[in-house]
Amino acid sequence: MSTKGIDGLLIETHNWGKTVAFWKSLGFVVDFETDHRSGRLTHPAGGPGGPWIFVAERPGSHVLRVVPGLSVASASEFTPPASGTVERGFALEHWGNLQMLLTDPDGREVSVEAPPATGAP
């Protein structure tokens, strides 16, 4: 099974306020903000369920990443590409989806998410 494509991007930052202001000036709106300087932004042109940007502030010593987020219909039916590496298999995350972390042949991280299995909490 292949993916449904890129749903969004995790964008790490050293300054939540400045990064959010940048994306807002490009037409994005904050959908929700957590209590730990992170949150999701979408663009109105994307429509409901459209692509998102999740901005998360990290300490100054942290090397910042941009991680594409892809989705699949079923974790059990997804086969990771042989040309990449599974860094972490599917695990239930606090936001309710299953997430797998892959790295591409150059070592860049890619997130793959799937809905929880039927009957999962």
Domains of the chain: 6-114 (3.10.180.10)
Does the pLDDT at position 118 exceed 80?
A: no
- On whether the CB atoms of residues 73 and 67 are closer than 8 A, the answer is no
Does the pLDDT at position 121 exceed 70?
A: no
> Using 50, 70 and 90 to split pLDDT, how confident is the model at 119?
low
Q: Residue 112 class from Cβ within 10 Å (0-12 exposed, 13-18 middle, 19+ buried)?
A: buried
* CB atoms inside a 10 Å sphere around CB 81: 13
Residue-wise pLDDT for 61-114, tens only, equals 999 999 999 999 999 999 999 999 999 999 999 888 999 999 999 999 999 999
pTM summary value: 0.86
Helix (H, G, I), strand (E, B) or coil at 109: strand
pLDDT of residue 99: 96
d(CA 37, CA 16): 6
pLDDT of residue 46: 87
d(CA 33, CA 50): 18
The residue written with tokens 């997430």 in the block is 99
The residue written with tokens 């695990």 in the block is 91
Average pLDDT of every residue of the chain: 93
pLDDT of residue 92: 94
